[in-house]
């Protein structure tokens, strides 16, 4: 392997480059990123950056000295346009063609847009540092806030807006906020946190459009009602950034399809991070995770398998994600299910521990302000403990 190209300069891409160097690879590495800034951390965008506790430079994933020591060619502010697996080249939008011996697709995901909504001032999304700073400035104007989408990002923005004592309405099409990540029942429990902090929560409602001349004034809902708002944050999930791979014959299905070793259908091409949908040996199916921890851990496995293709290792992690809201730390290990059991609760959910069950299988755990206890369940999940052992541990 003489030359490595990594397309995507966020956490997964940078960690792949670092893991290659840590495992002894000293050949040329090129890292392509579509943003002009050097790699930065995204979870703080909806937390510390939005609140003003962090200045933008603090989000940098590595210092300038650490990046220089990697001896990597950074092609920032450039976007991949096409992959040609026959000539083994990646064409950039500026016309440059980068040859590779091994390629890593780490292009992440792109926020979904509301197809029903016309472009108006005051409508924001939150994926990049630039968008976070624009939203922070807009919140300084003390607007009435409507948040479309009750996932982790939407919930964290709601928490920050309420910390500023702004009126907030959270609109979620599903029966409960956070239900995609926590399951419906646990989502309802966590919704109490928002209601106790003054958020108006509307569930089972879809947005049909926005009203306003040049700037948003209200959000129209599918039941005929509307929500007055000067600022709208749309956080309805993201789609894998795979458009540039069209025509490359790489298998795509809600991301880049990979085997258990993170290899794609094209030789010498791997995928990592939000864009990768790989076969999870423990689940027996393909999964795609938009989690910080997954991006870091998957990058390490990709680098290892690139360097030792004859002795690859499977990637079978215990998924882990966290969120900070109103001073509460919400953590999930494993995966959620509709069969959730609360095994410990204090102060109406201020501290909570719940276990997720799938038949006789123990599949996940939710902790609210119970980080130490969650560690025990992450260990049980890692060694495949069954439901009876998990319940016994809780007792």
pLDDT digits (tens, 9 = 90+) for 132-143: 999 999 999 999
DSSP state of 121: B
Mark 211-225 as b/e (b = at least 16 C-beta within 10 Å). ebeeebbbbbbeeee
Instruction: Answer yes or no: CATH 3.50.50.60 is held by domain 4-110+238-307.
Output: yes
If one counts every other C-beta atom within 10 angstroms of the C-beta of residue 274, the result is 29
Q: Give the residue ranges of DSSP H helices in the chain.
A: 11-22, 48-51, 64-69, 129-139, 152-163, 179-182, 184-196, 292-307, 371-382, 387-394
Mean pLDDT, the chain, whole residue set: 95
Question: Would you kindly state where each structural domain of the chain is located, as residue ranges?
Answer: 4-110+238-307, 113-234, 327-394
The residues, any chain, with a CB within 8 Å of residue 237's CB and separated by 6 or more, are: 111, 112, 149, 151, 180
H or E stretch at 87 = none
The region of weakest confidence among 111-120, 192-201, 260-269 is 111-120
Pairing type for strands 231-234 and 123-124 reads: parallel
| 8 Å CB contact between 256 and 271 | yes
If one counts every other C-beta atom within 10 angstroms of the C-beta of residue 28, the result is 14
Q: What is the spatial distance between Cα 260 and Cα 281, in angstroms, rounded to a whole number? A: 7
Indicate the CATH number of 113-234 among 3.50.50.60, 3.30.1180.20, 3.40.50.300, 2.30.42.10. Answer: 3.50.50.60
User: 327-394 adopts what CATH topology?
Assistant: Enolase-like; domain 1 (3.30.390)
Query: Has residue 210 got a pLDDT over 80?
Result: yes
Query: Has residue 49 got a pLDDT over 90?
Result: yes
The tens digit of pLDDT for each residue in 224-275 reads 999 999 999 999 999 999 999 999 999 999 999 999 999 999 999 999 999 9
Half-sphere exposure of 95 (CA within 13 A, CB side): 0
Pick from 247, 232, 86: nearest CA to 169: 232
Of 303 and 345, the structure prediction assigns the larger pLDDT to 303
Domains 4-110+238-307 and 113-234 share a fold: yes
∠ CA 48-51-56, rounded to 5°: 55
The tens digit of pLDDT for each residue in 167-181 reads 999 999 999 999 888
The residues, any chain, with a CB within 8 Å of residue 359's CB and separated by 6 or more, are: 387
Q: What is the pLDDT of residue 346?
A: 85
**Could you tell me the pLDDT band of residue 217, with boundaries at 50, 70 and 90?**
very high
> Which residue matches tokens 């979620």?
172
Q: Give the residue ranges of DSSP H helices in 64-215.
A: 64-69, 129-139, 152-163, 179-182, 184-196
Query: Has residue 347 got a pLDDT over 90?
Result: no
Structure pTM? 0.94
> Which residue matches tokens 């989502």?
187
Q: What is the pLDDT of residue 190?
A: 82
* Mean pLDDT to the nearest integer, 302-308: 97
- Percentage of the chain surpassing pLDDT 70? 99
């Amino acid at each position: 392997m003489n030359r490595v190209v990594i397309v995507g300069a966020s956490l997964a891409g940078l960690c792949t480059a670092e893991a290659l160097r840590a495992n002894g690879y000293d050949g040329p590495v090129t890292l392509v990123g579509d943003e002009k800034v050097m790699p930065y951390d995204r979870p703080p965008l909806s937390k510390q950056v939005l609140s003003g506790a962090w200045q933008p430079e603090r989000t940098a994933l590595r210092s300038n000295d650490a990046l220089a020591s990697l001896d990597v060619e950074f092609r920032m502010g450039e976007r991949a346009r096409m992959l040609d697996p026959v000539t083994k080249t990646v064409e950039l939008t500026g016309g440059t063609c980068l040859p590779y011996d091994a390629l890593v697709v780490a292009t992440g995901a792109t926020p979904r847009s509301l197809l029903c909504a016309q472009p108006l001032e005051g409508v924001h999304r939150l994926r990049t540092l630039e968008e976070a700073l624009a939203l922070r400035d807009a919140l300084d104007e003390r607007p009435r806030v409507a948040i479309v989408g009750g996932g982790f990002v939407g919930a964290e923005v709601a928490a920050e807006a309420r910390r500023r004592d702004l009126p907030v309405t959270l609109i979620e099409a599903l029966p409960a906020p956070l239900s995609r990540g926590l399951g419906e029942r646990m989502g309802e429990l966590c919704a109490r946190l928002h209601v106790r902090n003054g958020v108006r929560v509307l569930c089972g409602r879809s947005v049909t459009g926005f009203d306003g001349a040049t700037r948003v004034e209200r959000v129209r809902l599918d039941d005929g009602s509307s929500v007055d708002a000067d600022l709208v944050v749309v956080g309805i999930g993201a789609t894998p950034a795979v458009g540039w791979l069209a025509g490359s014959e790489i298998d795509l299905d809600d991301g880049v399809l990979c085997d258990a070793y993170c290899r794609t259908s094209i030789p010498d091409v791997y995928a990592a991070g939000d864009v990768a949908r790989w076969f999870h040996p423990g689940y027996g199916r393909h999964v795609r995770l938009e989690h910080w921890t997954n991006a870091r851990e998957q990058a390490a496995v990709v680098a290892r398998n690139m360097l030792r293709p004859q002795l690859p290792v499977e990637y079978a992690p215990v998924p882990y994600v966290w969120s900070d809201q109103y001073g509460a730390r919400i953590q999930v290990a494993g995966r959620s299910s509709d069969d959730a059991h609360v095994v410990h609760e204090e102060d109406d959910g201020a501290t909570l521990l719940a276990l997720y069950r799938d038949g006789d299988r123990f599949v996940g755990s939710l902790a609210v302000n119970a980080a130490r206890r969650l560690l025990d369940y992450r260990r049980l999940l890692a060694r495949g403990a069954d439901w009876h052992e998990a319940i016994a541990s809780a007792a």
